[in-house]
Every structure is written in C-alpha cells, then in structure tokens.
Structure 1
C-alpha cells in the first residue's frame, strides 16, 4: 500500500472539520428552536393565566351588573322610574368595566384552531342589550320617546333579535308620530297575535287618523290665513289707488274760490303808463 500523500491527508482533515462544523450548527439550531418554543410556551402560559384571571374578574363584574339590572326591574315594576334608571345606569358602568380578552387570542396554543365560542362574551353582550332595552322602557314611561328610540337602537345594535327593544322602539315611534317606522318595527315582531302588539297596532291607527286630521286642520288654517292676507293686500291696494287718484285729479270750482278778476292786481291811476317809463 502506498503511503497517503500530504494533500490527501489535508483534504480528509478539511472534510472532517466541515462535517463537524455542520453538526455543531445543526445542534445549536435545535437548541435555539427548543429555547424559542420554551419561551413562547412560557409567555403563553403567563398570558393564559392572566386571561383566566381576567375571565374570573369579568364574570364577577357581569354578575354585579345583572344584580343591578334586577334591582332596576323591581323599581320599574313598582313604578319608581327614577330609581330604576339609576340602577340600570350602574349596571352599564359594571358592564363597561369588563375587559375584552380577544386581543390575547393570538398567543394561545389553540391559535391555529378554529376560534371557540366565547360564552362569557356572548352573555356580556346579551346583558348589555337587555339593560339598554329596559332604559328604553323607562324613557317611554317618562314620555321621552326620542331617548327611548336612542336606547332601543343601542340594544338592537348589540342584539338584533331583541324583540322587546324593537317593540319599545315601535311604541316610541308611535308617540313621535313616525307612523311608517313604527309599522316597520311592528311587522318584524314574531308574535303579531300578542295582545300588546295588537294594542300598539290599534294605537298606531288612531295616531294615523289624528295626524291626518291635524294635517287637514293645518291646511285649512293655512288657506284661511292666505285668504285673509290676500283680502288685506287687496284692500290696501284699493285704498292706495283711491288716494293716488284723488291727488292727481283737477279740483272742481267752488263758490268760495276767487274769480279770475279778483285775482288781477288793482291798477293805480297815478302810476306811470308803460310808454312813459320807456326810455
């Protein structure tokens, strides 16, 4: 066997170093990836813990909001609208203090899975819609239809299927005389045979007739005012024409008016004749 040449030895050495370096890089890369996974898992665990704490806190605040809502309901049934409004507003303050945890979803392990239904969030939205609907009922009792419509709109934005909010908005529309909007809401209610719904339909018809009668009365009054204005302007025109005609016509001779001769100057016989003063 021929002895290995120096070049072959160096080539073999170089190849070994390359393989060793590659293995070292791969090992370091695996270590780095493992550390990264551990760090992400740690952060995710911390955030999950925070989310659980937030959920627990939110659940307590939701429960407090529901209690305030229930107190408001009791005062509303007793006819104490002022106290009912106070408790409903306090319930909203509790709802508004609840944190939204959706911003943390990206850090969860199940972030690549289909998002699960957040039952707590749905309950929060539903409760908030109920409170706004109850506020609308209070404003209807207080004869403030515009405020009632505003609250009902908020409730329906949160929960489009909230029929009480839609019914109360229809009531407020009728009070304002917005017949078309009220009819549109009443038509969307799922139980048209409900006695309260029928009552509002009857109230809407009465309001419609009242509006028609008022419009006819307003039109009649407007025509009468226009007629009186025309008569007044015609009388003023005739008066001005008569005055103008009186000022421009020649006066008739009166017995008291002086005769032309009376207007001629008397001639003094002693005054010099015209030919005497001409030079």
Structure 2
C-alpha cells in the first residue's frame, strides 16, 4: 500500500526484526538504550495519529490519511500481545496491558483497519485484495462490524467470488437492513450468482443435447447396417 513518505506496511514483521537486532547487541549497549515509552503514552500517540488520519480523509487527502493509519498500527503492533508472543525472549519484555488499555488498543486497531479499507476504496485503481484483507482483520475482533462486513463483501464480489460476497453482505444486511449500499451490492451478488447458474444450466443443456445427437446418429447407422444385411 502506498502511504505518505513511502510504503509503510503494518503487516511486515518489523517488531521481530527490531527485537532480534536488539538481542544481538552487547548487553552494555542495550543498557544505554532509552527506556520504552509508557504504554498509555504509546496508546495516546496511536490514537492521535488515527485522529489526524481521519482529518486527512475528510479533506480527501487519501495518501496522507493512509500514512497516519499505518503509523498508528505500527505503534500498536509493539503492544499487541498476539503479535509479540511470537518474538518473546528478544529485547525488552512488553508490559501486560490492563483491560482498559487492551480495549483502547483493539478499538484503535479496528478503526485504523476499517479506515484504511475505506481509503483504498476511494482510489481510482482499487486494491480489492487489500481491502478484503483489512476488513477480515476487523472481523477477527468484531464479527458483526457492519462496515467491515460490507467492505469484505464488496471486495470479494469484485474479486469474482459472488457466493462468499453474498454471505458477507447478507450478514451486513441483517445488522443494518435499511442501508441502501449494502442492499445494492447484495443485489449485485445475487444477480451475478443467477447469471452464473444460467450459464451452468446452458452448458449442461448443450452437453446433454450433444450426447443425444451422438446417440441418435449411432442408432441410424446401426439400422442401415441391419437393412443391408437383409
């Protein structure tokens, strides 16, 4: 994904690389490293970056908005127990979060991934695979998130899988039955499935018709040979 200042991807294993590098340093050098910022400070910095991203999005500055959301996610990555468990033993231990801190971390992550998907859908050339990826990340934590269900459905439909898209959009419609956009894309998915079914039926009819003609031709030839025998 393109972001302000170059490409920033919250999905790269940056935390593991930094931690491994720190482990390779001599112990004296590690002692001279500055202490990790307090958890609340990092959470507030990430929340502030998300807010700045929202402001850029409202201004239609999609590039800068994407950059802010990515930076927020990179900050949060170092606090996420689900991520840091895989690099345990390298570098300083990540402090355990309180329930309140964990809630703020997840809420900020959900908002950033949702907003990144929204940003990508505003581009002329949409990366639907990435839209779907970000939306599915949200659904891991919030299975009933309407925005993520809707965007996952739209992206999956554009990627050619109408059946799965219909499932996402039907769930979004159950959560928010009066949303015109959800209903519009659900109708698109159903129409695509109907066209695919008609094509499949036509193909089988053609195969069946060809089989009948072949069988009929063989019968005529057999009859002619029998007549010749008489």
- Smaller-chain TM-score bracket: 0.5 to 0.7
* C-alpha RMSD over aligned residues: 3.2
* 1:172 to partner: Cα distance: 0.6
Q: Paired residue for 1:71, among 52, 65, 73? A: 52
* 1:124 to partner: Cα distance: 0.7
* 1:208 to partner: Cα distance: 4.2
Query: What's 1:202 paired with?
Result: 187
Specify whether residues 138 and 206 from structure 1 end up closer, same or farther in structure 2 by C-alpha distance, changes over 3 A only.
farther
> Gaps (5+ residues) in structure 2?
1-34, 86-97, 207-230
Contact 1:61-1:94 within 8 A present in 2 as well: yes
Query: What's 2:106 paired with?
Result: 125
How far does the alpha carbon of each residue in 1:119-144 deviate from its partner, in whole angstroms, 9 at most, with x for none? 21122112112211222222233311
Contact 2:163-2:193 within 8 A present in 1 as well: no
User: Relative CO higher for 1 or 2, CA cutoff 8 Å, sep ≥ 6?
Assistant: 2
* 1:72 to partner: Cα distance: 1.7
Higher gyration radius (CA) = 1
User: How many residue pairs align between the two structures?
Assistant: 153
Residues in 2 aligned to 1:162 and 1:137: alpha-carbon distance in whole angstroms = 14
Contact 1:156-1:165 within 8 A present in 2 as well: yes
Specify whether residues 138 and 192 from structure 1 end up closer, same or farther in structure 2 by C-alpha distance, changes over 3 A only.
same
* 1:167 to partner: Cα distance: 1.4
Query: What's 1:157 paired with?
Result: 140
Q: Paired residue for 2:177, among 180, 192, 211? A: 192
Q: Paired residue for 1:148, among 131, 138, 146? A: 131
Poorly superposed stretches of 4+, deviation over 4 Å: 206-213
Residues in 1 aligned to 2:105 and 2:68: alpha-carbon distance in whole angstroms = 17
Query: What's 1:270 paired with?
Result: none
Scaled by the length of structure 2, what TM-score is found?
Answer: 0.56
Scaled by the length of structure 1, what TM-score is found?
Answer: 0.47
How far does the alpha carbon of each residue in 1:11-59 deviate from its partner, in whole angstroms, 9 at most, with x for none? xxxxxxxxxxxxxxxxxxxxxxxxxxxxxxxxxxxxxxxxxx98x8212
Contact 1:126-1:159 within 8 A present in 2 as well: no
Contact 2:170-2:186 within 8 A present in 1 as well: no
* 1:169 to partner: Cα distance: 0.5
Residues in 2 aligned to 1:167 and 1:211: alpha-carbon distance in whole angstroms = 22
Contact 1:177-1:207 within 8 A present in 2 as well: no
Residues in 2 aligned to 1:174 and 1:168: alpha-carbon distance in whole angstroms = 10
> Gaps (5+ residues) in structure 1?
1-52, 104-116, 224-279
Q: Paired residue for 1:168, among 140, 151, 159? A: 151
Q: Does 1:59 align with 2:40?
A: yes
Residues in 1 aligned to 2:67 and 2:76: alpha-carbon distance in whole angstroms = 14
How far does the alpha carbon of each residue in 1:190-234 deviate from its partner, in whole angstroms, 9 at most, with x for none? 112222222222333454466678x58xx7xxx9xxxxxxxxxxx
